[in-house]
């Protein structure tokens, strides 16, 4: 069975929680990514995630100015993470049980991100 590390994307873009949502939008546009990992403030802190859905549902839908809202105000933290050796079936089950679509793959630090699309495109059934 394939593992998370076999199907994950290694293109991970980090952003600080203090960045504005406008900066996050620009970074997503530049990279073509749908989610950014929010970096830890220190070694004991948890990672976060901000997605295009967070931006649309929590900022745009309420007419807020993305240049005045900070990422930490709308991100999910702590984020659900995946071990690189977790089997794809278990990653899929984790996503199904929690309703998430993507999760960072952590081995001490972020080494990738795995998504529902990765499971469909890269896993063998």
Domains of the chain: 4-123 (3.10.580.10)
CA distances from 40 to 5, 22, 37, 72 (A): 22, 20, 9, 11
Q: What residues does 105 pair with on adjacent strands?
A: 82, 112
pTM comes to 0.91
Show the tokens assigned to 105: 């793959």
pLDDT under 70: residue ranges of the chain: none
- CA-closest candidate to residue 80, choices 96, 63, 62: 96
């Amino acid at each position: 069975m394939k593992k998370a590390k076999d199907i994950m994307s290694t293109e991970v873009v980090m952003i600080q929680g203090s960045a504005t949502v406008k900066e996050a939008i620009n970074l997503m546009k530049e990279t073509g990514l749908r989610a950014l990992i929010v970096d830890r403030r220190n070694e004991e802190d948890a990672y976060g995630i901000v997605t295009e859905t967070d931006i649309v549902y929590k900022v745009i839908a309420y007419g807020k100015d993305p240049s005045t809202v900070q990422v930490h105000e709308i991100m999910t933290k702590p984020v659900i993470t995946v071990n690189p050796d977790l089997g794809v079936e278990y990653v899929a089950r984790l996503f199904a049980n929690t309703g998430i679509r993507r999760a960072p793959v952590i081995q001490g630090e972020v080494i990738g991100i795995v998504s529902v699309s990765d499971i469909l495109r890269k896993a063998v059934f």
